[in-house]
Chains A and B, each alone.
Chain A
Amino acid sequence: MSDLVVQDAGPLTTIQDLGRPGHLRVGIPASGPMDREAFLLANRLIGNPDTAAGLEFTLIGARVEFTDERLIAITGADMTPTLNGTPAPAWQGLRVRPGDVLRLGPARRGVRGYLAIAGGIQTPRVLGSRATYVRGRLGGLEGRALRKGDQLPLGPVGEARPHRLHPDRVPSYEAEPELAVVLGPQDDRFTPLGIAALFEGPYEMLPQSDRMGARLKGPFIEHTHGHDIISDGVPLGGIQVIGEGQPIVLLADRQSTGGYTKIGTICSFHIGRIAQVKPGGRVRFRRVTVAEAHAMLRQSLQTLDAAIE
């Protein structure tokens, strides 16, 4: 039997795959990786299908032991990986052997780290997905974050060779990222000054942020008249502004609906960037039209497809 043995789990390590879209209409979020690009690349570096389940680490990594020979890949936040105590490279496929121990430490840059394992983690699918939704106790392993001693079943491995990420494509997670935002759906509930403040920025990531939403602090965003609306659907990346005029960006495990004004929406291809900003780090917003956003999306998908050597 091939298992991944969790020797030490870290503060919030969960099983994720591309998520379970289709259930927001009954209040269940899709979940899935916070930084989808880094997750996809981890799978692609070892020839896994995009849909294979792997691990997401948050701020601090974990220690895991392998029980057979297979490929793995580490991407996302820089958690100074070591394999049997020796520094191991991220952003490329690596071969591990029975008894090998991988250790990921505190994130030096970025927040979310990813581990893909050839064959994928094969915990049961719930509503079509292995992604963990901790608040809803759904998916993953018993709907919870991983703990010391957990053993995760792995799928069979095929013939695959390790790939590398093009060196120019390794993200630094250092800069103050600029995030593309389309105004709406309730931009008409904000004053011109309020909208200008959003794009002036910058906004600082607060430590209360989690997989549900990123709480930010920065220039006051002024409403025309109050922050309450008749509840409506909350899109991924929606920027909700409540009483204090401060934004909350709704992310993978967000509530499906909400009763607060949303000034704009961060574009899908930049969600991963905000997921990698540490508490105390800053972001800026840039206004784009829907047409510009679609052109940028095409570009980002092409870049992603060409990222692996």
Chain B
Amino acid sequence: MTIWSEPRFLPCGDRALSVELGDEITRDINARILALEYLLQQKRVPGVGETVPSYRALLVYYDPLVVGHDELTATLRGLLTEARPEVLPPVRTVELPCCYGGELGFELEAAAAKLGLAPEETARLHAEADYYVYFVGFTPGLPYMTGMPERLTIPRLTNPRLKTPPGSVSIGGVQCCIYSVESPGGFWVLGRTPVRLYDPTAPDPILLRAGDHVRFRPIDRAEYDAIAADVDAGRYTPRIAGPVATTS
């Protein structure tokens, strides 16, 4: 894997820069990115605005009237020496019920055929894994996750769909994502969760955060419909386990 020997500081116009640590999707690089972001927030560095973590980079918006590019780069370089996963707050594990196959998981059978597995086996393997949220983005609340067994590695769809329903649990490459709003998509849809990852009417519209763990709990269609009705009525609270013992 490629981790730069020195961090790269890349200009993004007059009000932002990107700190890049490598060009691979690894937990190690991502944890340093999240730790750097956390330290920046904790230390309230003057002139720093919002930050956007991704797999291997942190986009940092800044006010150049308060802090110069070189000064900010020096500050970030210093913080990077402390940016280790141990500084991060304890992780959460969010449980998401998921109805696999059928009309909600409309590509389970095709994906299983592509993988040379039975649909039930594909769903079981998918549901057993522990998923890690690298970051949340693209559309509001969409988690970028890995954690699937290698057996489920699958090329993306050759012809992306124009519309994917929100809540669609889907896989592509080594990644798993859950569509948060209706959007185009190139991942295979294995199932759907009735839980809203993005709810614009809620005081806190976003469910998942970078660094969270996600577990899927297989449910049947009847339970899906029951939970969906509770979600609509504002009666459903997702199960979120507090800090787990290890912060791997």
Contacts and interface: CB of A to CB of B under 8 A. Distances in A.
A294 interface: yes
Q: Which of B13, B18, B20, B205 has the most CB of A within 10 A?
A: B13
Contact of B59 (A183, A235, A268): A235
Contacts, number: 158
Contacts of B61: 21, 235
Contacts of A162: none
**Interface SS of chain A:** mixed
A231 B59 contact: no
A99 interface: no
Interface stretch (A58-66, A70-78, A193-201, A250-258): A250-258
A291 B69 CA distance: 8
Nearest to A237: B13
A225 interface: no
Contact of A265 (B11, B54, B135, B139): B11
Q: How large is the interface on B (under 10, 10 to 19, 20 to 34, 35 or more residues)?
A: 35 or more
A137 interface: yes
Nearest to B207: A26
Taking each of B12, B20, B37, which has the highest tally of chain A beta carbons within 10 Å of its own beta carbon? B12
B56 interface: yes
A231 B33 CA distance: 14
A24 B137 contact: yes
A149 interface: no
Contacts of B228: none
Nearest to A28: B140
Interface in A258-299: 258, 262, 264-269, 290-291, 293-294, 296-298
Interface stretch (B44-52, B82-90, B95-103, B216-224): B44-52
B52 A255 contact: no
Contacts of A233: 12, 16, 18, 52-54, 57-59, 137
Interface residues of A, number: 50
A143 interface: yes
A298 B180 contact: no
Consensus secondary structure, chain B interface: loop
B13 A21 contact: no
B58 to A, nearest CB: 8
A131 B63 CA distance: 21
A183 to B, nearest CB: 7
B55 A230 contact: yes
A26 B141 contact: yes
A143 B200 CA distance: 8
B181 interface: yes
Interface of A: 21-28, 30, 126-127, 135-138, 143, 182-186, 229-238, 255-258, 262, 264-269, 290-291, 293-294, 296-298, 301
Given A22-B50, A24-B59, A25-B210, 9 more contacts: A27-B138, A138-B205, A185-B18, A233-B12, A236-B16, A262-B12, A268-B13, A294-B69, A301-B65
10 contacts: A25-B135, A27-B139, A27-B180, A138-B205, A231-B55, A231-B137, A233-B12, A236-B16, A257-B137, A294-B68
Among all A-B residue pairs, the 6 with the closest Cβ atoms: A233-B59, A265-B13, A233-B52, A185-B10, A293-B14, A235-B12
